[in-house]
Amino acid sequence: MANGTSQQHSRAALTLAALGVVYGDIGTSPLYAVKETFGAGHGIPLVPENVLGGLSTIFWSLMIVVSLKYVTLIMRADNKGEGGIMALLALASSSVRQQARWRGAILLLGVFGASLFYGDAVLTPAISVLSAVEGLAVGTSAFQEYVLPISVGVLVGLFVGQRFGTARVGALFGPITVAWFLALAAVGVYGIAMHPAILAALDPVHAARFVTEHGFASFVVLGSVLLAFTGAEALYADMGHFGAGPIRTAWFGLVFPALTLNYFGQGALLIADPKTIANPFYLLYPSWALFPMVALATAATVIASQATISGTYSLTRQAIQLGFLPRMNVIQTSAKELGQIYMPAVNWTLLVVIVAAVLGFESSSRLASAYGVAVTGTMLVTTFLTFFVIRFGWGYNLALCAVATGFFMVVDTAFFSSSLLKIHEGGWFPLALGAGVFVLMTTWRRGRSLLLARLRSGSVPLEPFLKSLFIEPPHRVPGTAVYLSAAPDAVPHALLHNLNHNKVLHERVVFLTVMVKDVPWVPFDQRVALEPLGHECWRVILQFGFKNRPDVTQALTELCRSQGLPVNMMETSFFLSRETLVPSAAGPRGMALWRERLFAAMARNAGSAVAYFNIPPNRVIELGTQVEI
């Protein structure tokens, strides 16, 4: 009985936390989704039948894209409990190991989808905060000129506070978000009571008419309808933090009903007074509740932004672990929660680009035109990757897989195609951001592959080298030397340099290779593979998941000791090879010269391996070598 009660409390706590983190983005969509759907620019008259059709389209989009696609199907495609597009990419890639012809295409599409996420990460805080603060101008036009400065101030404060971590304020996220959804539901009921006939929008026939009877305008308006389900990807991305159960409970128990009531309430208001299209969200509230709702909306949008920022940190760390981005400084902000991290380089880059977006677009309506491309592009890639998981990973019948994912592919393609119509209105912005990140990711991945191939081509096999070395062994000195190497079967360049210059070998030598597998977590008892090579030489391979923190010190001092290799850090020196890359048109070509130069610049600015692998900096010796690429 006690266990059951404890589990119920735990599930309730996770559900509350999920509300604060997972649903911030999709929960703030009512601020702008209805206004943009019925905007005059679409050329669809604001008459009752069209309001019913638009509301019906929003409702059934939420039902199909969120409830059926993400909550029912995609959340089943977990990578050892983890979700998100990088986790799905790793899962899909491992599912087609025997289907080599698909692997390259899957990799490129997965990286493209992840790249578009960064466009979403910029636009979500920008449009959410700006749309919330715009409520001040609804109350009085005197606030109009302060909307942009206040929005920028809120965003700057949010990013400045990132270095302190979210642990302190995280406990407030859930209750504030609950209050937000209850406020959405309450005012929605108030609006529906004014015009109960709006409930007819539950009939999908109205949606079918809305998207078919207005010619090209019906297609164009889908680019605004999709604003209602931005943030759906967060349900999947945050699955590893909260589990599928609490996320589903929160969606069906509070979020979906509250969103539906609010959207229908706004629709009822538009039927009663079409002039309220200027801002149906805030005008639905009584005048006495306007400024309190602006404050609550600002808090809700800050929470939505925080979830996106944290998701960007997480995605970036996964991309680094999987070899798509160079090492960056990762600061753990919580001793208890591994997922709570802070990445200064990502943080300040995001802030600069977000502020530029706010000042450049100036209003939430203009930002809305830019928003959909990144969101629907990522969703389309997610659906595509899911097909390979359920077909080759789970082994389901081809026809079933094609029907299941094909239906969602058609829906995603329709929304994505519609959003592309707004490229000239701002859709170019997330595409440009995504393209930039895509070039960086693919250049780093390809460059690392070429560099490792180049190093291996000139490397010396390890075991024959050791055999010949100990025919006339060099002088042995006390202590342990750890040589980090990307290739476990090759002699590290740092060892060759050390023997060449110092003419000595430590009494214990460890050849260490760190590998990242395409699973989120590797258990402690599976992280170390240790092999004695004779003469007190050891080959050690450390394996981490893409969400593990690659802690070399802990692995050597705790895990290796249990397998017969005690390592005392005070008697250990770490030898690292630092390659200086020289782009050359005359060298072995694998990339265009401009990409070689880009790769070399990224390598020069990569974070230190010492900090990244948690190696004591006062125990490190770096030996350099030049490599022509």
As given in the structure block, the two tokens for residue 53 are 């059709």
Q: Where does the pLDDT of residue 303 fall: very low under 50, low under 70, confident under 90, or very high at 90 and above?
A: confident
DSSP-derived secondary structure for 330-356: -EE--SS-TT-EE-HHHHHHHHHHHHH
User: What's the confidence (pLDDT) of residue 409?
Assistant: 94
Grade residue 1 by pLDDT with cuts at 50, 70 and 90.
very low
Q: Which of 306, 16, 353 is nearest to 171 (CA)?
A: 16
Determine the pLDDT at residue 547: 79
Give tens-digit pLDDT for 201-230: 999 999 999 999 988 999 999 988 998 998
Q: Is the pLDDT of residue 234 over 60?
A: yes
Element spanning 200, H or E: none
> Nearest Cα to 120, choosing from 356, 345, 430, 426?
430
Residue found under tokens 């909550």: 71
Determine the length of the chain.
629
- The 3-class secondary structure across 7-55, one letter per residue, is HHHHHHHHHHHHHHHCCHHHHCHHHCHHHHHCCHHHCCCCCHHHHHHHH
Q: Is the pLDDT of residue 84 over 50?
A: yes
CA–CA distance, 533 with 339 (Å, rounded to integer) = 38
3-state helix, strand, coil in the chain (%, to 5): 70, 10, 20
Please tell me the predicted confidence (pLDDT) of residue 170. 56
Whether the CB-CB separation of 326 and 152 falls below 8 Å is answered with: no
For the segment 43-53, the average pLDDT, to the nearest whole number, is 92
**Nearby residues of 177 by Cβ (< 8 Å), 6 or more positions away:** 19, 20, 23, 24, 27, 300, 303
CA-angle at 112, arms to 435 and 592, nearest 5°: 60
- State the Cα–Cα distance between residues 111 and 318, nearest whole angstrom: 12
User: At residue 442, does pLDDT exceed 80?
Assistant: yes
pTM over 0.85: no
What are the tens digits of pLDDT across the range 522-574?
888 889 999 999 999 999 999 998 878 888 998 888 888 878 888 888 999 99
**Weakest-pLDDT range from 90-99, 121-130, 185-194:** 90-99
Return the percentage of the chain with pLDDT > 90, whole number: 40
pLDDT digits (tens, 9 = 90+) for 265-298: 999 999 999 999 989 999 999 988 888 998 998 8
Using alpha carbons, select from 26, 15, 52, 19 the residue that is nearest to residue 37: 52
User: Burial code of 528-551, b = ≥16 C-beta within 10 A, e = fewer?
Assistant: bebeeeeeebbbbebbbbbbbbbb
Q: pLDDT grade, residue 2 (50/70/90)?
A: very low
From the CB of residue 338, how many other CB atoms can be counted at a distance below 10 Å? 13
pLDDT at 375 over 80: yes
The pLDDT assigned to 610 comes to: 87
Q: What is the pLDDT of residue 311?
A: 80
Q: Which two tokens stand for residue 128?
A: 């959410």
452 vs 185, residue with greater confidence: 185
Provide mean pLDDT across the span 579-600: 76
Query: What rounded mean pLDDT belongs to the chain?
Result: 86
292 Cβ neighbours under 8 A, 6+ residues apart: none
Which region among 41-50, 325-334, 385-394, 578-587 has the lowest average model confidence (pLDDT)? 578-587
pLDDT of residue 486: 84
Q: What is the DSSP string of 572-616?
A: EEEEEEEEEEE--TTS--SS-HHHHHHHHHHHHTSPPHHHHTT--
Which pair of structure tokens corresponds to residue 603? 């390598």
Closest to 384 in 3D by CA, of 49, 615, 92, 143: 92
Helices vs strands, H then E, count in the chain: 26, 8
Distances from the Cα of 101 to the Cα of 104, 107, 329, 590, angstroms: 7, 11, 36, 20
**What pLDDT is attached to residue 268?**
95
pLDDT of amino acid 373: 85
The H or E element that residue 418 is part of is helix 398-420
pLDDT tens digits for range 17-34: 778 778 888 898 999 899
DSSP class of 395: -
- 375 is written with which tokens? 């969101």
pLDDT recorded at residue 30: 93
Cα–Cα distance for residue pair 322/320, rounded to 1 Å:
5
- Report the pLDDT averaged over residues 361-376: 83
Mean pLDDT, range 408-429, rounded to an integer: 90
Q: Which two tokens stand for residue 227?
A: 């604003």
Q: Which helix (H) or strand (E) holds 261?
A: helix 256-272
According to the per-residue pLDDT averaged within each range, which of 362-376, 383-397, 449-463, 574-588 is highest? 383-397
User: SS3 for 127-167, per residue?
Assistant: HHHHHHHCHHHHHCHHHHHHHHHHHHHHHHHHHHHHHHCCH
pLDDT of 140 higher than 80? no
Residue 394 has pLDDT above 60, yes or no: yes
Lowest average pLDDT, out of 302-306, 390-394, 397-401, goes to 302-306
Q: Which helix (H) or strand (E) holds 625?
A: strand 620-628
pLDDT above 90: residue 264:
yes
168 pLDDT exceeds 70?
A: no
- C-alpha closest to that of 594 among 443, 380, 374: 443
Which contiguous run of DSSP H or E holds residue 509? strand 504-516
**Six token digits for residue 395:** 């082994």
One-letter-per-residue 3-state SS of 213-249: CCCHHHHHHHHHHHHHHCCHHHHHHCHHHHCHHHHHH
End-to-end CA distance of the chain: 65
Pick the closest to residue 303 from 82, 35, 33, 19 (CA basis): 19
For the chain, domains (ranges, CATH) are 11-103+119-367 (1.20.1740), 460-628 (no CATH)
* Res. 8: pLDDT tops 70: no
